[in-house]
Structure 1
Amino acid sequence: MMQDHDKTLYDQLLPLYEMEGFDDLLFKLTPTESNSERLIIKMEVRKLMSACSRPVDLRGKVVGECRRYFLNNVNHWLDDVAINLYHRRLDIYQGKMTQGLWDDLHNTSNSYRVLQRQGDVRAAESMDTVETVPLRFGHYLSRSENRIQISSRIQAFLPDGTEVNGSTIDLSNSGMQVKLPAAFRYDEGSTLVVYFPQLGDECRLPELFSGLNYRVVGVELNFNKDSFQRLRLRLVTSTDAIKNAIETKSTQDTVSSRSENEDKFLTTRSKSYEQIFLEQTSSLPLFFCGNKLRYSLLTEQNRSLWDYWHDERNLPVVDKLFSAARLQHLALEGLTSSETLVYCFSHQHSDKTFFFSACPTELTPELRRLFWHVGSSRPSWRVLRVTMAKINEEDTRRLQDISPAYIQQIDELTHIATIQDLTLETVNSDYRIPIKPKLPSRSLNQFVHERDPIAAIDAVPSVLAPQRKEPRYQHKTGTILIHHTSGELHGETIDFSPHGLNISLSGPFSGSKSQEVAVTFTDLKRVDPNAPLGNVPYKVIQISEDRTNVKLALLKDRHSKHRSHYLQRLIEHNQHKLMLDSEKLPDAPLLSAMHQMLLTRLSVTPYFLVRRGETLQVSGIGTNYPGSELSRILHKSAAAGMISLAPVLGEHLSKYANGVTRQRNRLEQIRHEFYVAATIANGVVIAVKSRSLDSFETPEERKFFISQAKKRGKFFAVRNWMQPIDDGSQWLNSETSEQLMKLSTKRTAQLEHEFADLCVYGEMSDITDEVMMRLEMG
């Protein structure tokens, strides 16, 4: 086979072989070669142009399906890549099957021999894959027409005229799903001309032989790296030929038809990824009824943010973050959505916790610098982004079908707020770069929150599962609680469990959460003096607003196991006398409605990584449309119809995800900060450069990068957050899988393998405004 650098030379010489002027052309094209070298080239041309009567049989030699073709009076077995190459190269070889053409057909880009030589076998990819098809959250495929599942041979011509052969998977009046060779590129939005030779012959419809225009509306990820790419196509040509073919085939007993089967796979996949996002997001969603905060939606990852907004009594005070003045600004009439940064810290005084918070618009430059200096040096320093969106009539109409019984409750909701924690400990010193103003610290007292009253906020878990570690039982029995400052307080139990206690006290308790107390069960000790229920050490979990009700957890010491076992036996022997304190689970329809409203209002860009051998791949990136500016950059930097993390992470997923994917000393979560410069010309992104925070040595170097980025186009700062996924299969419903198995065992297996290989959930947030404010460049 000719070398790549010789290919241009030979392509000019081969069509003129044995024709007048060949020697002159050879001399002109090789002015620096010697006569002996020209002779070698001439001999190579003679060899390439020698007649070849051997058949080409590529079965088992290429990645793709081969078909039989009768060419030059010989039967050949070629795949789609080879047949297209044959037609393109035939004129160069003067319309004959020659040794050169025979060699070309055996050395196509999808030949196993070529792949092996290049070290590019698909089963052992050497680079992480950062590009994927976007997942449109909150949007599911639906059809107003039935489809039939039918496998029928088709011929498709790509926009550049390349012919590919494939088959249908299912067919409807307005669209179809097809399998075409994976060796070719298919751009979403492009138009294909499709011929139906088999269907036209079976249904006797001449129009199916003339070619129909279809637009590519979906390209599925080829996770198995097999030889086929699945496409969803929409019919563009106005015709009844497909409708007539479906009616004809539907009347035949040999056709196995199942309606909407592929949509079920796509919807199941989307909903499973959505569930991961809803249960793993680090953002804290809040639901308002007018000016009143009504619900918070809790996940494992946002619980720390929820717990942060609890005072020394462990009572929720996050509603104080939304003062009347801030709500008026965030929920301004006529705005569909708004957002602001909020700087926060807490201060302990007289065993009480006081929270301070301020938005940039509430601070003068001097007050802002004072707030930064005082707050950023404390462990309680937080930088939050609050996004507020209005619940509109479209939401109500969409939710009527989901939760008709709860429509009145949903109607009462007016706004959704999402809190993102943008704090990164390594950049806290940035806030102390400006000179501290000569203002007294008491100037910040205007930003302190009121402590009371405590709002009744329902903390709704994002998953319909019991949250308690053990059952609780209602029972009243006398107790004495001893605390180092409150002294001795008499009371009685409200409910208890082997490891927990809820007590009503005769007087106010002056302690704080996490402090230790000793509890004696006086009534139970009188019944059994030997019971290990005297001076039992407990830790304070929560204190009521009037401080007369305390919730406690048993402290672990060398006697705690004996005490909990005693209480467990006490419960078991008195089951008939005790009333179970049932845990109140969230209403499923209301929770579903909350989820639907969140999915259409993404404040972050969620993404999911799977492990394929030794590499990581992006299996999905959640989006809304039209999406944020960051999301649009991720779209513009990818192929048509795709979305990519490359503008931020480059092609180094493994490097940045190592902390949460390694087997030993694995981290629970990691955070990165990236600075991204997008060069834009005539509204088109022509280059993107990304640098991680740790690649800069000084703040001045970061400022220079930002200024240069803004001169050339756009600057973005991105906060990237990752956490490990231990068992991705748990989000693929087993009952749904069983139903899908009836439609296609292969597609179901692909879906199960995809979720079994999930290893990382991540989120990206655009923090450009926060960085520009922090570095005082905006």
Structure 2
Amino acid sequence: MIIKEYSSLIDQLKPLVMEEHFQELFEQLTAGESSSDRFLIKMELNRLATRCTRNIDLRDKTELPWEEVLVDQQKHFLDVPAKAILLESMSLYQQHYTLGVYEEVINSHKRRRESLRLAASAKTKQVLDSPFFMPLKILGSYFNRNEERMHYSLKVDIHYQNQNYAVNSTDISVSGIRLKLPKNHALSLQAKVKLFLVELINDGVADEIKQGVEYQVVQIESTANADFVSFKRLDAMPALSELLEQLLQTYKGRYKIDVSDVLNTATGLGLERQYLPHFPHLAVFTTKKEQQWHLSYLLLSQENQSILNDFVDQNDINQLPAMLTHARIDRLLKAPQDIRQQLFICFSHNANGKLFFYSATLWELEQQQLLNLFLGFGARKTSFRIYRVNPYAIDHQIPYKASVLPLESSDYSPEVTEQLTQLQHCLIVQDLTNEQARRLYQARLDAENANALKVFAQVKINAHQIQQVAMEFSERRMEARFAFKTLVHIRQGDINAKAISQDISGRGMQLNLDDVLEFNTDEPLLLSFPKLQPLAGKVMLVEMPYKLVRSRRNNQSLHLVAIMGHEPHMGVAFLKKLIEANKEKLQKLTENNAEAKELAEALKNLMMRSLPGVLWFVEKTINNAKLSCLAATTTKHLLTNIFDNFPQGIDLSAMLGDGVLKRDFLDPVRTMNPDYEMDFFEVFISKPATGSLTCLQPRIIGDINAQLNYIVKAQQQGQFYALRIYRSAAHKPDMAYIRREIEYMRPHAPQKVKELEDMLWQVIGLGEILDISSEVLLRYPALPSKQN
């Protein structure tokens, strides 16, 4: 086009177009051009100099703050760059608002936005290609359908709030449809819309659908370039249902059944199965009777029983309900985000063979002005613990079953459903205790009388109040376990030790040692039961071989299983008789694998709706290993407040760079034993209001004073966070856990099934990222109180 060829000349002539001698200057500057070209150039200059009546409104088109700008009684809404261009352009036309000014403002705004888009796209690509970028998987909340869906492209018009979208479906069922929408759509979850199924309307197959069909948004999946929105039908038009049923049956052999939802569910279930045996927290479920809160169930895994043991007295009675009293639960539920109600500080005192338990919330200690005394005195006890309790309301509108395949029932048995409907909240009890911080708490002990702490003594509970339910896969023993305490002598080579049993089964037991000792896991431990010997008669309960399966709490908690040989094992024979003779008296900690399966699964599903932390998984590669993904129960979690977020995941380069990924994540999990409990390290994070955030481990920051200075500076410049990074090796995948989903998908998507199986077999490590900022701030008394 000729005008574009002369753009530089036109730009040169713009400042002269309104001058008195413009014609003379124009003739001089265009003397070498043809008459036709000179005519077109002059017409363009006159057009640009024409007064303009169009208003410029960038309020919904800019990411920057805007202001109202008044020019010749015309209102414009401009951001700072656009205002600068407006003023600069008007100077070319003797301060008049012309069409040339309008176009320059609009075009410069478009160029600036395009430049930002390209820069953001380049940054996104760079981040996505980084080994520190982690995609996010959603656990616990899976989208289930009771009908089969088929991949089918259908033209659809969406009418919503005076806006129309012409889109195509990706798949369809009788009661729902999934559409691909541009990113700038205005739909949200639960929004009700009217869909016009254009092709079906044009075919005239059902007159009822010409007025549109009512649908509701039930799920939105975001990608970089589009959103995939799932809808469910709200109408009850039999003609449309019959039509869609015929459509699906007609094309069933030609189009593939869509299994994307089942695949997402199976992926989530496979990852949660890897994590749950290592679940370190205690899930407790509440009911309300006669206006009083009660604890009804607690859910056991392999690694949370140490929390349970902290509350078992000398009579094997669980004292946890005496800590989580009605008053404390009530205050917590009224202020669920108040860290002062969430934090519990506890210890127990042994006097003449009797255990006395003490507990207080941070709020109670502040009210009584006994915080320093309680922390300083309690930290001198080996039983000192700091717990955080997060409450989550149970939504009974969501099906209790996590995975429901098409044509399956979404309900459990009436008996289990009745029990579940009584539950109101799930309390997640997290042990935030760090032994390395104990001396910081001990230093807070003042000269006050410790008798003042009697007000926090727990009321003694003399009977079991909570039903304990074990996750089906978490119990490796083939028999039920029972709470039972007795003295045990241990010998291995030159090592002799005394321990107290915590629980027993016919073939195994859990012991607690008084001292920290290192046993060789390749050699048997020889156990003797001196207190039980009088009950055994002629059977000698002396130096019976047991294998160390795993240890916890710095090797002070041992899990043992009997080593069976050709001769009868005296310990196994005696313990089986002891359990059989006292079944009515002993508290059963777990059922055997066939019992309480439905209830355990349902409670697990409720717990998985709201995990307090973010999980991470490590996959092995051909040459090494990589951090493969994060997993959480919601798209908004603690990491989204700290790190850069993208629709595809989170950029963790600030935390994983400088060799941290290999040194502290990949290498450790490759050498760990999956039967041992997770260990952890801590990370302190400074997120300034402007600038880059820093992530450092306390040992790298330096001594106590250096850590304190780091925290104070972080709070002054922005925000301070502290994270606990749990880590462990992963067990081999349990494919039976997702067998139903795999069998459903295999005929329709065998390649996807193989990819899922390969992915789960590649997982060699996992962990959890937990926010411990509140506990870390409690360690340093010099810090101003910010626990609210």
Check whether TM > 0.5. yes
1:643 aligns with 2:650: yes
Once the 2 structures are TM-superposed, how far is the Cα of residue 425 of structure 1 from its aligned partner?
1.6
Contact between 1:679 and 1:688, CA under 8 Å: does it hold in 2?
Answer: yes
SS of the residue aligned with 2:756? helix
SS of the residue aligned with 2:569? helix
The one of 519, 522, 527 equivalent to 2:533 is 519
Contact between 2:721 and 2:771, CA under 8 Å: does it hold in 1?
Answer: yes
Q: Write the distance in 2 (CA, Å) between the matches of 1:583 and 1:746.
A: 37
1:299 aligns with 2:301: yes
Per-residue CA shift, 1:457-502, capped at 9, x if unaligned?
Answer: 22110126766445899xxxxxxx9999xxxxxxxxxx995779xx
Q: Write the distance in 2 (CA, Å) between the matches of 1:611 and 1:705.
A: 36
Equivalent residue, structure 1, for 2:265: 267
Q: Write the distance in 1 (CA, Å) between the matches of 2:508 and 2:649.
A: 52
Q: 1:396 to 1:433 in 2, by over 3 A?
A: same
Q: 1:327 to 1:673 in 2, by over 3 A?
A: same
Using the TM superposition, name which of 457-466 and 300-309 deviates more. 457-466
Q: Write the distance in 2 (CA, Å) between the matches of 1:661 and 1:762.
A: 9
Equivalent residue, structure 2, for 1:286: 284
Per-residue CA shift, 1:412-441, capped at 9, x if unaligned?
Answer: 32332211011112222222444x311122
Contact between 2:133 and 2:652, CA under 8 Å: does it hold in 1?
Answer: yes
SS of the residue aligned with 1:704? helix
Per-residue CA shift, 1:270-313, capped at 9, x if unaligned?
Answer: 23233444443111001223333221100011122112222234
2:131 alignment partner AA: D
Q: Write the distance in 1 (CA, Å) between the matches of 2:248 and 2:422.
A: 49
2:421 alignment partner AA: D
Per-residue CA shift, 1:207-236, capped at 9, x if unaligned?
Answer: xxxxxxxx9954689xxxxxxx9985779x
Q: Write the distance in 2 (CA, Å) between the matches of 1:319 and 1:463.
A: 24
The one of 353, 356, 367 equivalent to 2:355 is 353
Once the 2 structures are TM-superposed, how far is the Cα of residue 744 of structure 1 from its aligned partner?
1.4
1:772 aligns with 2:777: yes
1:714-753 pair list within 5 angstroms: 714-730=719-735, 733-753=738-758
1:671 aligns with 2:680: yes
Per-residue CA shift, 1:43-97, capped at 9, x if unaligned?
Answer: xxxxxxxxxxxxxxxxxxxxxxxxxxxxxxxxxxxxxxxxxxxxxxxxxxxxxxx
2:270 alignment partner AA: S
SS of the residue aligned with 1:707? helix
Equivalent residue, structure 2, for 1:447: 456
The one of 585, 603, 627 equivalent to 1:617 is 627
Once the 2 structures are TM-superposed, how far is the Cα of residue 322 of structure 1 from its aligned partner?
1.6
1:289-688 pair list within 5 angstroms: 289-290=287-288, 291-332=293-334, 339-364=341-366, 367-391=370-394, 394=397, 401-434=411-444, 436-463=445-472, 468-469=477-478, 497=506, 516-520=530-534, 533=539, 562=567, 564=569, 583=592, 585-613=594-622, 614-624=624-634, 627-628=636-637, 630-633=638-641, 637-646=644-653, 648-650=655-657, 652-658=660-666, 660-663=668-671, 668-680=677-689, 687-688=692-693
Q: Write the distance in 1 (CA, Å) between the matches of 2:450 and 2:612.
A: 34
Contact between 1:633 and 1:647, CA under 8 Å: does it hold in 2?
Answer: no
SS of the residue aligned with 1:133? strand
SS of the residue aligned with 1:742? coil
C-alpha RMSD of the superposition: 5.5
Contact between 1:276 and 1:731, CA under 8 Å: does it hold in 2?
Answer: no
Once the 2 structures are TM-superposed, how far is the Cα of residue 323 of structure 1 from its aligned partner?
3.1
Contact between 1:288 and 1:295, CA under 8 Å: does it hold in 2?
Answer: yes
SS of the residue aligned with 2:264? helix
Q: Write the distance in 2 (CA, Å) between the matches of 1:717 and 1:288.
A: 30
Once the 2 structures are TM-superposed, how far is the Cα of residue 175 of structure 1 from its aligned partner?
6.3
Using the TM superposition, name which of 449-458 and 463-472 deviates more. 463-472
Once the 2 structures are TM-superposed, how far is the Cα of residue 385 of structure 1 from its aligned partner?
0.5
How many residues matched? 551
Q: Write the distance in 2 (CA, Å) between the matches of 1:133 and 1:282.
A: 21
Once the 2 structures are TM-superposed, how far is the Cα of residue 610 of structure 1 from its aligned partner?
2.0
Q: Write the distance in 2 (CA, Å) between the matches of 1:660 and 1:285.
A: 28
Q: Write the distance in 2 (CA, Å) between the matches of 1:571 and 1:380.
A: 31
Q: 1:189 to 1:265 in 2, by over 3 A?
A: farther
Q: Write the distance in 1 (CA, Å) between the matches of 2:423 and 2:249.
A: 51
1:356 alignment partner AA: Y
Once the 2 structures are TM-superposed, how far is the Cα of residue 315 of structure 1 from its aligned partner?
3.2
Q: Write the distance in 1 (CA, Å) between the matches of 2:768 and 2:534.
A: 48
Q: 1:455 to 1:401 in 2, by over 3 A?
A: same
Once the 2 structures are TM-superposed, how far is the Cα of residue 701 of structure 1 from its aligned partner?
2.3
Q: 1:562 to 1:518 in 2, by over 3 A?
A: farther
Contact between 1:482 and 1:519, CA under 8 Å: does it hold in 2?
Answer: no
SS of the residue aligned with 1:662? helix
Q: Write the distance in 1 (CA, Å) between the matches of 2:173 and 2:760.
A: 30
Per-residue CA shift, 1:586-616, capped at 9, x if unaligned?
Answer: 5333223322321222222233232333231
Equivalent residue, structure 2, for 1:529: none
1:756 aligns with 2:766: no
Q: Write the distance in 2 (CA, Å) between the matches of 1:277 and 1:352.
A: 37
Once the 2 structures are TM-superposed, how far is the Cα of residue 455 of structure 1 from its aligned partner?
2.5
Q: 1:395 to 1:443 in 2, by over 3 A?
A: farther
Contact between 2:135 and 2:630, CA under 8 Å: does it hold in 1?
Answer: yes
Q: Write the distance in 2 (CA, Å) between the matches of 1:471 and 1:621.
A: 32
The one of 689, 698, 707 equivalent to 2:703 is 698
Once the 2 structures are TM-superposed, how far is the Cα of residue 696 of structure 1 from its aligned partner?
1.4
SS of the residue aligned with 2:663? helix
Once the 2 structures are TM-superposed, how far is the Cα of residue 718 of structure 1 from its aligned partner?
1.4
Equivalent residue, structure 2, for 1:256: 254
Q: Write the distance in 2 (CA, Å) between the matches of 1:218 and 1:409.
A: 34
Contact between 2:614 and 2:630, CA under 8 Å: does it hold in 1?
Answer: no
SS of the residue aligned with 2:646? coil
Once the 2 structures are TM-superposed, how far is the Cα of residue 331 of structure 1 from its aligned partner?
4.0
Q: 1:250 to 1:761 in 2, by over 3 A?
A: same
Q: 1:749 to 1:129 in 2, by over 3 A?
A: farther
Structure 2 runs not aligned, ≥5 long: 10-124, 155-167, 188-198, 205-216, 232-240, 403-409, 490-503, 510-526, 546-558
1:424 alignment partner AA: N
Using the TM superposition, name which of 735-744 and 583-592 deviates more. 583-592
1:385 alignment partner AA: R
1:114-193 pair list within 5 angstroms: 128-142=131-145, 147-149=149-151
Once the 2 structures are TM-superposed, how far is the Cα of residue 751 of structure 1 from its aligned partner?
0.6
Per-residue CA shift, 1:693-752, capped at 9, x if unaligned?
Answer: 222112332233223323333221112211210313547523432332211121111111
Per-residue CA shift, 1:32-53, capped at 9, x if unaligned?
Answer: xxxxxxxxxxxxxxxxxxxxxx
Q: Write the distance in 2 (CA, Å) between the matches of 1:725 and 1:329.
A: 38
Contact between 2:616 and 2:768, CA under 8 Å: does it hold in 1?
Answer: yes
Q: 1:286 to 1:516 in 2, by over 3 A?
A: farther
Contact between 1:516 and 1:538, CA under 8 Å: does it hold in 2?
Answer: no
